[in-house]
Structures are given as structure tokens and as C-alpha cells.
Structure 1
Amino acid sequence: MNLIRRGNAPLSTLRGGPIEDQFGRMVENMFQDFFAPMAQGGHWLEDGLAMPRLNVSENEKAFEVQAELPGVKKEDVKVSIDGQRVTIEGECQQANEQREGEQVVYSERSTRRYQRSFTLSSEVDDAGAQARLENGILMLTLPKKQGGAAKRLTIQ
């Protein structure tokens, strides 16, 4: 922040006292807490549970979904499909390795869980669905379920 001195007021009057310093720190911490989840990728639902960011595209045959799951291994990802509803879950466990004679002083790496559910505009053919995980991005190819031909009813 730049302070611009206007008029003949001494510079010392532009600096806040202890109350203003505490308020400034509180506001700064509030903004850091608010923007931290966005910087880490995803929105937080509750303590330790994040919603991964998604890109969803569609063509006439399938939906293509990309979800950010940084640090998650493929064996820790679960995708379930129920009609039009898709649910993605994943867990990233980052163990803090401690060598003999060392002590962890500060650690921000911990277990993080991801979960996201969304509904698509048409049902998914779960038998033909494919998923792969590359560089922290889960890529789903979800073919649309082909509707049967219209059935003509016989009038009796």
C-alpha cells in the first residue's frame, strides 16, 4: 500500500496506532483465509473437504469432463455414475516424513479430500464410460445413453 502525503500533515499522523495495526492484520488475515482455497485449487465445502474445479464439454455422442485432483493417486479416486448424476471423490494423503534426529517444525501438507457431484443434461451409458488420471487432472469420457426409437402404441 502506498501512502500519499497531502498537505502539511506530518507523516506520523498517517500511521495508525496499535488499534489500527490490529485491525489491519485482522483484515489481511480475513482476505488470506478467503482467497487461500482458490489459490490451492478448488472450493472448500467444510474442513478438509474440497470441491475440485471442473471443465465439462459435450458433443452429440458424449460428455468430456476434466477435474483437478492435485496430488491424488489413481487408486484413491472413485467415480460413480447414476443415470445423469456423476460423483467424483478422491483423497490425497501426504505423509510428513520424519528422519531420525529431526523434528517437524512447521507443516502445511496434510490429507485432503475432494468430492463433487453434478448432473448432466442426459443419461450416461456407464458401460462405455472411461476415466484416466494424468498430472493431477482426471479426464472422463461419458458416452450418452442412446434413447430407443419411439415406440408406436397400438390403439385397441
Structure 2
Amino acid sequence: MTLIKRSENLPVWTNLFNDFLANDWSDWSLRNFSMTNTTLPSVNIKETDESFEVEMAAPGMEKSDFKIEVNQGILSISSEKSTERENSDESRYSKKEFSYQSFCRSFSLPTTVNSDKIAAKYENGILKVNLPKREEAKPKPVRMIDIE
């Protein structure tokens, strides 16, 4: 009878394999990948009595890098940024990479949003978009009715 020593590396591969199979690959809503396999900025969307608030994580950008528009009930947040490093013509480089980043996130707006009053602010790497609700969509306070 031959004894086989268990390899300590095997559980690592088993865990990687199990993690891979455990993911629900059919639910693409859990992924922040675009059709081109690039990552998209993550967003948080919160509803209050007064508005919806969209927060987008986009560190390292400037407010001028963003384009925000509303068209036919769709809010689109996009960015296109390219960086070229300047070198003198005499430089001899073995590798030089251009940097190009772009994304577009789109959200269907509920009819309760007052699209004329949407405001945005970029601060500390977070883009905040405030989507105020129409007056008729805001909760009404309790009103007591007198009985005659």
C-alpha cells in the first residue's frame, strides 16, 4: 500500500475553482463590467422623501471630465479622458503607453423626478447627482379632518 502525502497547494486551487463555480455568472447585474470588459464606476442610489441621490465613485478625475445629460427620461453620466505624456523628440523610450479612459452609465428616471432641477457636485472622488422629486410625488403630512 502506497501512502500519498496531501499537497498543501491543492486547497488553494480547489478554493479558486469553487469560488469560480459558486459565482452566479448569469446575473450580470452583479458585475461592474461594460460590454468591452472594462470596469465601470460603482454607484450608490438612495431614495429620500425629497429626492433620489446617485453617488458615483470616480477618484482621480476632475469635474470637467464628466458629461451628465437627461434625454427622454434617461439620465446618462459619461466621461472620456485621455492622457499623453510629453517627452522630448530626443528621448529614446522602450515603451510608451497612451492612457485613454471612458465610460457611460445610464439610468431610467422615474416619472416622479423633476428633471429640470437635477444638480451635480464632484468632491473627494465622488460624483453626487441629486434628483429632486416633483412636489406631487413627495409624501404629504397627515392632515386632521374636522367633523361637523
Give the TM-score of the pair, scaled to structure 1: 0.57
> Per-residue deviation at 1:59?
0.3
Q: Which amino acid aligns with 2:35?
A: L
Residue 116 (structure 2) aligned to one of 103, 127, 130: 127
Structure 2 unmatched runs, 5+: 7-19, 21-31, 138-148
Residue 50 (structure 2) aligned to one of 61, 66, 83: 61
| Greater share of helix | 1
> Per-residue deviation at 1:71?
3.4
Residue 105 (structure 1) aligned to one of 94, 97, 101: 94
Q: Which amino acid aligns with 1:6?
A: K
Instruction: Find the residue that maps to 1:46 and give its secondary structure.
Output: coil
Deviations 1:124-146 (A, max 9, x none): 21222111112332111110123
Aligned-partner Cα distance in 2 for 1:82–1:68: 23
1:125–1:142 CA contact under 8 A, matched in 2: yes
Deviations 1:38-92 (A, max 9, x none): xxxx523327x65321111010110111112333322221111246421101112
> Per-residue deviation at 1:97?
2.7
1:43 equivalent to 2:33? Answer yes
**Which residues of 2 match residues 137-148 of structure 1 at below 5 A?**
137-147=126-136
> Per-residue deviation at 1:107?
4.7
Percent sequence identity is 28
**Which residues of 2 match residues 16-35 of structure 1 at below 5 A?**
none
Structure 1 unmatched runs, 5+: 8-30, 32-41, 149-156
**Count of aligned pairs:** 111
Aligned-partner Cα distance in 2 for 1:83–1:72: 28
Aligned-partner Cα distance in 2 for 1:139–1:112: 20
Instruction: Find the residue that maps to 1:127 and give its secondary structure.
Output: helix
Superposition CA RMSD, Å: 3.1
Q: Which amino acid aligns with 1:95?
A: E
**Which residues of 2 match residues 52-91 of structure 1 at below 5 A?**
52-82=41-71, 84-91=73-80
